[in-house]
Amino acid sequence: MLLRIFSFLFFFITSFELFALDNRVIVASTTSTYDTGLLSYLNNYFEDFFDIKVQVLSLGTGQAIRVAQDGNVEVLLVHHTTSEIKFMNDGYGLIRHELMYNDYVLVGPNDDQLGCKSVEIKFKEIKQKKLPFISRGDDSGTHKKELELWNSINFSPLSSSWYQEVGQGMGITLLMANEKLAYTLSDRGTWIAFNKKENLSIICENQPPLFNQYGLIIVDPLVNSNLDIENANIYVNWLISDRGKELINNFRKKGQQLFYFNHH
């Protein structure tokens, strides 16, 4: 009970401090755009040009959406289209844009011999052979996609002994999969940027079910009258502009492009 009270007070104080600052925009972003360095890279250019401070809450998609529903952020950058559309239909969002995409990859032990005819077949193989699988288990966009893939083979792994939910971000999940020689689902950007993966390789990639769209949403000011929608509009319009396109498409890690602008 005390832990819940302290957690609430911390979030309340943090939220108060965020809204107390002048000329800022608060963004709840999926961890993949933050952990890869994309958001810091974009925000540095934005802040230099507009003199508007961008404050980022790096959260899994599900948690980011809940924070936005509570009126604690002005902009959402997340990656689960179904949840984003529900957010809009429930009246929390002012406008939604599709901003960019990359894809998911199923990674697993280097000694995997069977390869990947399709990601659905591979998930069936993991189930049938009870191969170790590490799940983020954190209601993130990646976790939601993983559950959709299990659902596509009409199976829930939640009570299986070979399946472990860690309730953590992508980096820790990949670290555990590497240590346990297990399979996991990752967004490609974080996979490329992550270093401690010597025991893992990409098993499944470049398949339609693994497409990963990122959405950009301005939160409706009716949710919270303190929201700075003017700055939110400036930020979002800049991201979907030709300048945003150029920066997103030019962002690299280890010489590889991580995200592909597709706003239209």
Do residues 162 and 5 make contact, with C-beta atoms less than 8 angstroms apart? Answer: no
Instruction: Enumerate the H helices of the chain as residue ranges.
Output: 2-20, 31-35, 38-50, 61-69, 81-89, 119-129, 141-152, 170-180, 188-193, 229-239, 242-250
List pLDDT tens digits, range 186-205.
Answer: 999 999 999 999 999 999 99
Which part of the chain has CATH 3.40.190.10?
A: 23-101+212-261, 103-210
List pLDDT tens digits, range 3-57.
Answer: 333 343 444 444 444 444 579 999 999 999 999 999 999 999 999 999 999 999 9
What mean pLDDT is predicted for residues 73-101? Answer: 98
Query: What 3-state DSSP class applies to 241?
Result: coil
Query: What 3-state DSSP class applies to 55?
Result: strand
Tokens of residue 259, six digits = 């995200």
Task: Give the homologous superfamily in CATH for domain 23-101+212-261.
Answer: Periplasmic binding protein-like II (3.40.190.10)
List pLDDT tens digits, range 18-30.
Answer: 444 579 999 999 9
CA distance 189 to 209: 17
List pLDDT tens digits, range 105-141.
Answer: 999 999 998 899 999 999 999 999 999 999 999 999 9
Residue in this structure with the two tokens 């005819």, named with its chain if needed: 117
Residue of 36, 147, 16, 14 whose CA lies nearest to 83: 147
Say which residues have a Cβ less than 8 Å from residue 247's Cβ, sequence separation at least 6: 41, 42, 45
List pLDDT tens digits, range 138-190.
Answer: 999 999 999 999 999 999 999 999 999 999 999 999 999 999 999 999 999 99
Task: Give the homologous superfamily in CATH for domain 103-210.
Answer: Periplasmic binding protein-like II (3.40.190.10)
DSSP string, 78-118: E--HHHHHHHHHTT-EEEEEEEEEEEEEEEEETT--S--S-
How far is the first Cα of the chain from the last one, in angstroms, to the nearest whole number?
Answer: 48
Q: Are strands 200-204 and 133-135 parallel, antiparallel or unpaired?
A: unpaired
| DSSP letter, residue 183 | B
> What's the predicted TM-score (pTM) here?
0.89
